[in-house]
Amino acid sequence: MLGRINHIALAVPDLAAAVERYRSSLGATVSEPQALPEHGVTVVFVQFDNSKVELLEPLGEKSTIAGFLTKNPDGGMHHICYEVTDILAARDHLKGAGARVLGDGNPKIGAHGNPVLFLHPKDFFGTLIELEEVK
C-alpha cells in the first residue's frame, strides 16, 4: 500500500532563518515559500535526489504548528509523509485496521496539489503520518 517516503516535515520557528541555514550551510536547493491557509502553514521544500524535507512555519496563531512550537520552541520533526496511489483505498484500509484519520476523514489538497490525509500519531508510535496520493 505505501510507496516511497515523499518528505519529512520539520516545524521551524523562523522559516527565513531555516531556509538560509539549509542553503548556506548545506548548499541545498530550497523552493520558494508557499502559504497554505487551509493547513495553517507556510512551507518550503528542500530538494534531495531521493526525497524532500518540508520546512513548516505557522500561518496564524490558530495553526497546529504554532501549538507544536509552543511545546518545542526550537522546532523539530513534525511528520513523515508516505506516498500512496489511491488515498481513499488507503484511508479505508487503515480505518478498517483501527487507525484514526485526523480531521473529518476526507482528503484535503496539500502543497504539491495532491490529496493528503493525516493519521493520528498515537496509532503509529508517536509519529504523525501524512499520506499523499501520487499517480
Catalytic annotation, residues: 130
DSSP result, the chain: ----EEEEEEE-S-HHHHHHHHHHHH--EEPPPEEETTTTEEEEEEE-SS-EEEEEEESSTT-HHHHHHHHSTT-EEEEEEEEES-HHHHHHHHHHTTPPBSTTSS-EE-TTSSEEEEE-GGGTTT-EEEEEE--
Contact 51, 5 (CB under 8 A): yes
C-alpha cell at 90: 488507503
